[in-house]
Amino acid sequence: RKSVLAQWVNRTTASKDGKLVELAANIGKLEDVQKALDNGAEGIGLFRTEFLYMGRSQLPTEDEQFNSYKYVLEKMEGKPVVIRTLDIGGDKELPYMDLPKESNPFLGQRALRLCLDRPDLFRTQLRALLRASRYGNLKIMFPMIAVLDELLEAKRILQEEKQKLAAEGVELAERIEVGMMIEVPAAAISAHVFAKEVDFFSIGTNDLIQYTMAADRMNETVSYLYQPCHPSILLLIRMVIDAAKQEGKWVGMCGEMAGDETAIPLLLGMGLYEFSMSAGSILPARELIARLSQSEWSGLAEQALTMHGQQEIQAFVQNNKKGEQ
């Protein structure tokens, strides 16, 4: 199968009826970039920057971060690279930061919430990102946003750092897209409001499912509730895509669901543009999408959205996929 898939490495990703989409890789360390390229990634859809902060005894400096971001951007040679600002908290701890213990860390001061409370930490990362921007096609993404004020504050701080750097004579990329993750149900429901304020969305289904179902994504005993193809999740995803389209913005997905072969036909049908996944899933996804008709799946996804449960939807997808082998 591996050798059969190799022919897909240097191709663009298009559906049977010619709709172009983008298959990107999720990365968490610098070594992952080569793996992404070897697997035909058309970009990096999610760079989890936590690794820069973890497994060490103090915060990474601006220069250390700058070098890592520059490395990824250069290696991707102008392909889009979405770098997510720090998403610490939840299950990821930084012992040296001495953060207060929380009884519900996944509902606590996680990700951007912490960054807005610790602007020193946030500004250092933003400066490193901005300085690296001229080495490739950087897109900056904020995680865990629930309400508009969080986004506006993050954008305000970014703008300030941009102006400071410009005043210092630092060369920046002409254009840097700014987007946000949609992983809190409130943000999905308010997507029409957020869509006016960003260049793109990336749907983080790992958290969106956990928060929508109120089921800890790490807890085996409630894993039966972890249902990517539940109609409630699909309806939220469609809302997000429609809201973005209305404003002419693109939508990606960087949760595990983006590489799920049962979900892909539905996501393609709903008009998702960028699918970001672990490198190993890219070639199978490209081969699958080439067998699917986007316009046909647009209708089939509408039908799926009227169904009552994940099982029914999964069976429906499997049946309709068969016809396209």
Question: Rounded to whole angstroms, how far apart are CA atoms 272 and 146?
Answer: 21
CB 73 within 8 A of CB 137: yes
Our finding on whether 274 is near ligand PEP (CB under 6 A) is no
CB of 48 vs ligand PEP, minimal distance in Å: 5
Our finding on whether 204 is near ligand PEP (CB under 6 A) is yes
CB 206 within 8 A of CB 183: yes
- 255 makes contact, choosing from ligand PEP, Mg ion, none, with CB < 5 to 8 Å by partner type, with ligand PEP
Total residue length of the chain: 325
Containing H/E element for 316? helix 310-322
Question: Judged by CB under 6 A, which stretch of 129-137, 205-213, 267-275, 289-297 contacts ligand PEP?
Answer: 205-213
CB 184 within 8 A of CB 208: yes
Site string for ligand PEP, 41-80 (x = CB under 6 A): -----x-x--------------------------------
How would you classify the pairing of strands 20-27 and 13-14? antiparallel
Q: Which residues contact 13 (CB under 8 A, 6 or more apart)?
A: 20, 21, 22, 23, 42, 285, 286, 289, 290
Our finding on whether 228 is near ligand PEP (CB under 6 A) is no
CB 115 within 8 A of CB 122: yes
Q: Which of 139, 131, 151, 258 is nearest to 195 (CA)?
A: 151
Smaller CB separation from Mg ion, 129 or 141: 141
Q: Which of 260, 270, 255, 276 is nearest to 304 (CA)?
A: 270
Residue 196 CB neighbour total at 10 angstroms: 11
Helix axes 263-270, 310-322, angle to 10 degrees: 90
β-sheet bridge partners, residue 44:
25, 81
CB of 47 vs ligand PEP, minimal distance in Å: 11
- 48 makes contact, choosing from Mg ion, ligand PEP, none, with CB < 5 to 8 Å by partner type, with ligand PEP
- 254 makes contact, choosing from ligand PEP, Mg ion, none, with CB < 5 to 8 Å by partner type, with ligand PEP
How would you classify the pairing of strands 274-277 and 177-182? unpaired
Q: Count residues contacting ligand PEP (CB under 6 A)?
A: 10
Question: Rounded to whole angstroms, how far apart are CA atoms 88 and 54?
Answer: 9
Q: What is the DSSP letter of 102?
A: -
Smaller CB separation from ligand PEP, 126 or 237: 237
Smaller CB separation from Mg ion, 87 or 161: 87
CB of 67 vs ligand PEP, minimal distance in Å: 22
Smaller CB separation from ligand PEP, 109 or 205: 205
Our finding on whether 254 is near ligand PEP (CB under 6 A) is yes
CB of 275 vs Mg ion, minimal distance in Å: 16
CB of 315 vs Mg ion, minimal distance in Å: 29
Smaller CB separation from Mg ion, 46 or 267: 46
Query: Which residues are near Mg ion by CB under 5 A?
Result: 183, 204, 207
Pair of tokens at residue 210: 């956990």
Our finding on whether 278 is near ligand PEP (CB under 6 A) is no
- 205 makes contact, choosing from Mg ion, ligand PEP, none, with CB < 5 to 8 Å by partner type, with ligand PEP
> Of 68, 205, 281, 310, which one interacts with ligand PEP (CB under 6 A)?
205
Our finding on whether 114 is near ligand PEP (CB under 6 A) is no
Q: What is the dihedral of CA 265, 271, 273, 274, to 10 degrees?
A: -40
Residue nearest to Mg ion (CB): 207
Interface residues toward ligand PEP, by CB under 6 A: 46, 48, 87, 183, 204-207, 254-255
